[in-house]
Amino acid sequence: MQKKKVAVSIGDLNGIGIQLALENHHTIKKLVAPLYCIDNTMLQQAAKLLQLPIPDDFQTVDTIAPAFTIEPGTVSAQSGAYAYASFVKTVEMAREKKVDAIVTLPIHKKAWEAAGVKYKGHTDALRDFFDADAIMMLGCPKMYVALFTEHIPLREVADSISEKDLTRFLVDFYNTAKPTSTVAVLGLNPHAGDDGVLGNEEKFITNAINNANQTLSAQHSTLNTPFTGPLVPDVAFTPNIRKRYTHYVAMYHDQGLAPLKALYFDEGINVSLNLPILRTSVDHGTAFDIAYKGKKVNGMSYINAVKYIAGSG
């Protein structure tokens, strides 16, 4: 079977992304045919700083963005601009069917901001690029968590929950994630609202679950109950409950990602669903504190992100 072609967005070059790419190339190339969106000038500079050899078959592209001096562990507009340009290049290649999927290595959101990039992250940008309601799902085969709201202030979460929007989200999520068992949807409030005593957002969540179940049952006659909930958030990830579910939907960022990262930090990946292209990513940041310091970097998340693509239909 021919390996899938995968474009790798190199991430913030002041961080650990390029080290991950170099150190794990021999593993990655057994799974897919990688193309790294970094030019030779920046690659040579990074490899010299890392004191790492560049594999002979480490395939790169032509000029990405203006070259700059790498400053390990530093937020800079130049590194932000380069990281964004590398990402845009991968998307262009996927859109033009030159590659089958893309993998993104970690960016620094403040560096993007310093470079004048209007997006807070990859998923925001992908929504705009494809005019699609991209869904952020993170995790590993043991547990995946989809986020209804993502990088917004906590004070805005409750006002962002509507029956209509959550219904659409649930239907799109089920049809693109293709879970093989019932998905657990979390409530928003403590005790899932205690029948309205601690908040009434659960009524919108309940209605959205019912709507999505009806829609999906009509679309897929073999389905029983696609979604259940709203579950009480503080017990939803206890061992007995986790035995029942592999997929969760969280109402906000930390509600879903705090337990996920406590349980599976090294293994987790980020998957963008509901798009015309497949994008996966590592589920960690730029690790400025260890960048270019000769420390071993755990590549499990990066390898798992590639494995997800290699195993996709």
Q: At what angle do helices 122-130 and 77-95 cross, to 10 degrees?
A: 40
Tokens of 308: 């997800």
**Residue 20, CA atoms < 13 Å, CB-side half-sphere:** 33
pLDDT of 124 over the 80 cut:
yes
Q: Is the distance from CB of 61 to CB of 89 less than 8 angstroms?
A: yes
pLDDT number for residue 312: 77
Residue 113 φ/ψ region, left for φ over 0, alpha for ψ in the -120 to 50 degree band, beta for the rest: alpha
| 1-132+275-313 and 136-271, same CATH topology | yes
Choices 3.40.50.300, 3.40.605.10, 3.40.1010.20, 3.40.718.10: CATH for 136-271: 3.40.718.10
Domain ranges in the chain? 1-132+275-313, 136-271
Q: Band the pLDDT of 313: cuts 50, 70, 90.
A: low
Q: Band the pLDDT of 219: cuts 50, 70, 90.
A: confident
Distance CA 286, CA 288 (A): 6
pLDDT of 222 over the 90 cut:
no
Mean pLDDT of 190-207: 93
pLDDT of 220 over the 90 cut:
no
Cα-based angle 211, 236, 189 (whole degrees, multiple of 5): 70
Q: Which residues contact 18 (CB under 8 A, 6 or more apart)?
A: 10, 11, 38, 43, 46, 47, 50, 105
The CATH class of the 1-132+275-313 domain is alpha beta
pLDDT number for residue 214: 94
DSSP state of 182: P
User: How do residues 28-87 score in pLDDT, each as one tens digit?
Assistant: 999 999 999 999 999 999 999 999 999 999 999 988 899 999 999 999 999 999 999 999
Mean pLDDT of 150-178: 95
More confident residue, 20 or 296: 20
Strands 5-9 and 101-104 come out as parallel
Mean pLDDT of 11-29: 98
Mean pLDDT of 218-226: 80
> How many CB atoms sit inside 10 A of residue 47's CB?
16
User: How do residues 223-280 score in pLDDT, each as one tens digit?
Assistant: 778 999 999 999 999 999 999 999 999 999 999 999 999 999 889 999 999 999 999 9
Cα 174 to Cα 230, 232, 259, 288: the distances in Å are 16, 21, 22, 36
